[in-house]
Amino acid sequence: MGGIVKRNFPVLKLYSAGCAANVEKMIRRMTGVVDASVNLTTNILSVTYDAHKVTPNSMREVLMASGFGMIIDEDRDSEEELKRFSNMQYRSMRFRVIGASLLSVPVIILSMFFVYLPFSKELQMLLSFPVLFYFGFSIFTDTWKQLGHIRCNLNTLVMLCSLIAYLFSVFNTFFPSIWTQHGIIPHVYYEVSVVSVLFLLTGHMLEARVKLGNSKAIRKLLSLLPITVRVKRNGKEEIIPIKNLLAGDHVIIMQGERIPADGMIVEGFSYINESLINGDKTPQLKETGDFVTAGTFCVEGRISFVAHQVGVDTMLFHIIQTMNESQSTKKPIQRLVDKYAGYYVPGVLIASVVTFLLWLIIGGVTVLPYAVMSAISLIVISCPCALGLAIPTAVMIGIDEAAARRIIVKDAVILEKLNKVSAVAFDKTGILTEGKPEVCGWKWAKQEYKQYKMILLAAEKKSNHPLASAIVKSIESEGSIIPAPIDGFETIDNKGVNILAMGKEFWVGSHKLLKDREVQLTKGVIEQLLEYELAGWSIVYFGMDNTLLAIIAVNDRVKLNSLKTITKLNHEGIETYMLTGDGERTAQSLAGKVGIDVYVADATPNDKELFIREYQLQGKRIAMVGSGIGDAQALALADVSIAIGHGEDIAMDVAMVTIHANDLSLLARTFQIARRTAKLINRNLFWASIYNLVGIPIAAGVLFPFTGMLLTPVITGGAIALSTFSLVLSSIVIFRNDD
């Protein structure tokens, strides 16, 4: 199993569900491939394969032999290629929709108001031909590909009905006497064929627009990587393309340059902007022995580091993979429509045959023309023209409604996931609190010395913990204290830091570090500590060897709307949890202030991930709300990841949902929009089909014995108009009230 890996690859020249099915089939047939799936929304091929038996290059060769393309290297050039293709695909769909619209409108007008105009039918036939067989050609090709796999989808349904409507109308245009001699009016249904194709093309165009937007965040992340890299090989500096960078290379970074790989500094120092990783825009000092991450930015200084992870092994690439993974499954609602079409198409054909046979059984051979007319008319009226618009329209309205409130939803599937979320886990800092910690209390266990604060200042300047900046600001505000020279610095994961200075070992961190040192607290310190924790303040401990020097209380004020938002979510049946690295009493106090009953204190990143995983193992859906995703395993694992902030950090582009405002109340609005969108999709599917389903009995001839009426263009036109009008009206009404 050591050779089994899972990778995502962008695929080019995917135009339809049939193309996606062909790609899946070809890749799955390859020796060593365990599974393969294609998401047509993102053009992503997700493959699980044995790296000892098959390679990405061999997969690309197989696809290229069939006219497809596949991008292997996640570099700038390949991403630009995908970007160009996505733009081209969207422009192509837009051209088809505009062209089909220009020809369809005259057809509709002629069918409604100029039925008896000389050569009206012939003109409708000529105008309809390019709509079906040029602008709508992709629908027909996809249908043949689907039939090759014995599948039916919405394209199959539209092609079947529109083609039969067109051919039936052509027959009636040139051979009307066959019907008139039996007293049957030879109606034509060109408008049904063109409107069906036009609406489906419009839906595809809206989906292409969403697909084009999906790659924006990935492009922005990839833009963080430089095109070329300065390395030192064989004692000489040279500049090479980033794709030629190897693990073990000595990379040289100058001021103003991006870090191209993950690695450890071996020479020099620099201030690095690591907002991608921790959301903190304050540059952090990095020196010999410190690690740097691909995509971060050298604000000042010069360093040389050894590349440990390059290319697909970097943290930046894993972030991109996480984004692709979150979008690599087909929309459940789209699967519902395809399943609907899979039953609907055979059902319509069976109903048509049954109608034909019933006419002959009841009326005999003499009603053969009526039997043929009714059987074909049933197929014509069965085409739900507006069905192609039902889902894309609802999705675009939902996404645009969210965007108007500065809520960016990456994809329709995320709206569906949000609607199924039953719990929300909150990070504390910057989410439930303002994210602007301030020192609000000092308690010295020993006599306060200026040199202690100098050492503390030096330690916190090197730390990237959110509370460190508050302590630095507090000490520097005194004006006379400068960082002390230190001889050594070590970060202790999730606990704090150790510093060597003045020949002694100092430490700064959480109570976990205090426990490791087996420090005994005095009664005065314990009393003050209890007071700080009950106030909900975070505590930082500062000590030397096994002696506590001071405790520092840092307050990050609770957001004014936190309680209101939590209460609203709970009222709507969504459970809420808080995951924080603070101690038990501090966490309990803050949870009480915001109305959260269940919380996890002393939570490390692994603890948060474990919490999310355990909840999911119960079969439930959970969302994680944070301010970044770089090293936040919980965000990557959650069913929906939500970032809240001012939208200035690249981390905001990684989350599935980004709220570009530091307003927690918009979180409740996000869930509300998701629910409304889900409701709108179901309602649109109903209105897109109901009028056609009602028309089927009329087409079958149910009213003929009583009224002598068969299907007419008025009925089909009315069904199209009413279903479309109802769909649009439904979309307007459901989002009209802004509550």
The residues with which 433 forms a beta bridge, in sequence order, are 558
d(CA 265, CA 269): 8
Cβ neighbors of 731 (< 8 A, separation 6 or more) are: 393, 394, 397, 680, 684
Integer Cα distance of 364 and 611 in angstroms: 71
Would you say how long the chain is, in residues?
739
Contact 518, 545 (CB under 8 A): no
Contact call for residues 513 and 507 (beta carbons, < 8 A):
yes
- For residue 372 the two structure tokens come to 């043929």
User: DSSP string covering 562-596, please?
Assistant: HHHHHHHHHHTT-EEEEE-SS-HHHHHHHHHHHT-
**Calpha distance 612→90 (Å, rounded):** 38
Contacts made by residues 181-188, CB under 8 angstroms, sequence distance 24+: 182/369, 182/370, 184/369, 184/370, 184/373, 184/710, 185/712, 187/711, 187/712, 187/713, 188/111, 188/121, 188/124, 188/125, 188/713
Task: Give the helix/strand (H/E) hosting 626.
Answer: strand 622-626
Q: How many CB atoms lie within 10 A of CB 66?
A: 11
**Cα(68)–Cα(11) distance, integer angstroms:** 7
Chain-centroid distance of CA 11 in Å reads 18
Measuring CA to CA, which residue among 534, 528, 567, 570 is closest to residue 551? 528
User: How much is the CA Rg of the chain, to the nearest whole Å?
Assistant: 32
Is 427 tagged catalytic? Answer: yes
Q: In this structure, what token pair is assigned to residue 430? A: 């910057």
Q: Tabulate helix, strand, coil % of the chain (nearest 5).
A: 55, 20, 25
Residue 556 backbone class (left: φ over 0; alpha: ψ -120 to 50; beta: rest): beta
Catalytic annotation, pick one of 427, 556, 582, 639: 427
Helical H segments across 480-604, by residue range: 511-516, 523-534, 562-571, 584-594
**How many other β-carbons are positioned within 10 Å of the β-carbon of residue 67?**
10
Contacts of 682 (CB under 8 A, 6+ apart): none
Give the DSSP per-residue string, 235-256: TEEEEEEGGG--TT-EEEE-TT
Could you give the strand order of the β-sheet that contains 423-427, starting from the edge strand earlier in sequence? Answer: 407-409, 657-659, 640-644, 622-626, 423-427, 575-579, 598-600
Label each residue of 22-54 as H, E or C: HHHHHHHCCCCEEEEEEECCCCEEEEEEECCCC
Catalytic machinery residues: 427
